[in-house]
Amino acid sequence: PRSCCGMAVAGFRTAKYQVPEWHRRNAGIYYKAFTASEEAERGRTEAKHLVKHAAASAQRAQEYSKSTLGQRLQDIHFWRVELQKEIMELDAETNLLAAQKLRLERALDATEVPYGVVVDNLECRDRRQPPDLVIDEVERQLLKEAELIRDIRDLLKRTIIQATTQIRSNRIQKENCELDWSDKVQTYHIDDKCVSYCTDSTDVQAHPSSVKFEENASTPKSWAQFSHDNISGAEQEKLASVQLRSLIQNIIHDASEDLRMQRAAVNEAFDNRCRELGDAKLKLEQHLERILKDIGEQEANIVQLKKAIRDKEAHLKVAQTRLFDRSFRPNIELCRDEPQFRLVSEVEELTVFLEALKRKLMEAEQNLKNLEETRMKLEKEIAVKSNSIFIDRHKCLGYRLRYPVDLEVASYK
């Protein structure tokens, strides 16, 4: 190998190579050139295959990514449509529930009139005079009506609070669905834009730092579950709202029916009581008429008795005068003769009659006094009955005309 340095065997230098060395050197150069050519050819072939494979792989990867993005767009579109449907239905249901809540408020306002009527009736009937100031069937029905209206008002107030809470829950769930829907819309636009990207797009650029997973990123399962939970929550709130609307309808209907029946019961009790008062007043007036007639007859009887007493006193005076005058008969003429006995007997008879007439007069005067007292009592009772009839028939029943005909109808006004 050192012979290539041109070193002569005889011990002197030369720049010439030997022929074998020249051939070997050329062969080495040929081999290296051939090897380099083969390696270059192999590199070109591999590069060509790599370019082709990379291009195909990149195209397949891009198409697959585009396909997955398209599938993702379908999933997003599905949930977006479902969310939008729930949002619209929940919004419509909330509006219906708000309308029912307004009916409850109107029904509650409408109960103020009947409650005021009942309180006024009770206060008016407190102005009845004894003995008509009694706890009768009318008062019991009025107290029952007042308690019923208070219970209805409490129930309506509680239901209004329940409806308000449900409306708030509906709106909160609707807001959750709207936020999810908004995210879906934004994501759909982003992924739809990503689908449109290609190698010829002018707005693509390198983002090396984008190849990573966010720590707060969701999984497809949790992503779908999130929207499913929102829709499920919306369905639950919607179902609760529908049930509450049905309950409100039943409450208003039942309350209206209860008020109508109780109003009819109170009016019937008033009618019966007014008839009783009218009958009692009529009987009292009939008794008063009889008493007045008796008073007139008794006064005439007293006049007759007094006249009879005066007449008997005149006869007694005549008899007594006769006896007095005959007491002056002289001597033997003072005889107990028949006239004397007759006059004494007459005086005694007249005295007995006078005492009987006077006793009868006193009895008649006492009876007249009793009749007068009875007349005053009857007149007072008639006045009390008239006052009670006026209160029940004109004040109470007249004021009850303001009573709402139907609470259910009033809830729509």
Residue-by-residue DSSP string for 337-377: -HHHHHHHHHHHHHHHHHHHHHHHHHHHHHHHHHHHHHHHH
> What are the structure tokens assigned to 242, written together?
């529908």
Q: Under a CB-based contact definition with an 8 Å cutoff, are residues 103 and 404 in contact? A: no
Please tell me the distance from the alpha carbon of residue 61 to that of residue 390, in angstroms, as a whole number. Answer: 99
pLDDT band at 413 (very low <50, low <70, confident <90, very high): low
Give the N- to C-terminal CA distance of the chain in Å, as an integer: 122
- Whether pLDDT at 251 is above 80: yes
pLDDT band at 270 (very low <50, low <70, confident <90, very high): very high
pLDDT in tens, 68-108: 989 989 999 999 999 999 999 999 999 999 999 999 999 99
pLDDT for 364 equals: 93
pLDDT in tens, 183-234: 999 999 998 888 888 877 777 676 776 667 667 788 889 999 999 999 999 9
pLDDT for 2 equals: 47
- Whether pLDDT at 286 is above 50: yes
pLDDT band at 25 (very low <50, low <70, confident <90, very high): confident
Of the two residues 26 and 139, the one the predictor is more confident about is: 139
pLDDT for 85 equals: 95
pLDDT band at 15 (very low <50, low <70, confident <90, very high): low
Q: What percent of the chain has pLDDT over 70?
A: 93
Task: Report phi then psi at 30, rounded to 5.
Answer: -60, -45
Per DSSP, the three-state class of 7 is: strand
pLDDT for 210 equals: 67
Task: Report phi then psi at 49, rounded to 5.
Answer: -65, -40
Q: Of 143-152, 178-187, 335-344, which range is least confident?
A: 335-344
What mean pLDDT value characterizes the chain? Answer: 88
pLDDT for 5 equals: 47
CA distances (Å), 245 to each of 161, 173, 174, in order? 13, 18, 18
pLDDT band at 337 (very low <50, low <70, confident <90, very high): confident
Give one DSSP letter per residue of 200-247, joined into a string.
Answer: T-TT----GGGSS--TTPPPHHHHHHHHHHHHHHHHHHHHHHHHHHHH
- Whether pLDDT at 397 is above 80: yes
Q: Under a CB-based contact definition with an 8 Å cutoff, are residues 78 and 116 in contact? A: no
Q: What is the pTM of this model?
A: 0.75
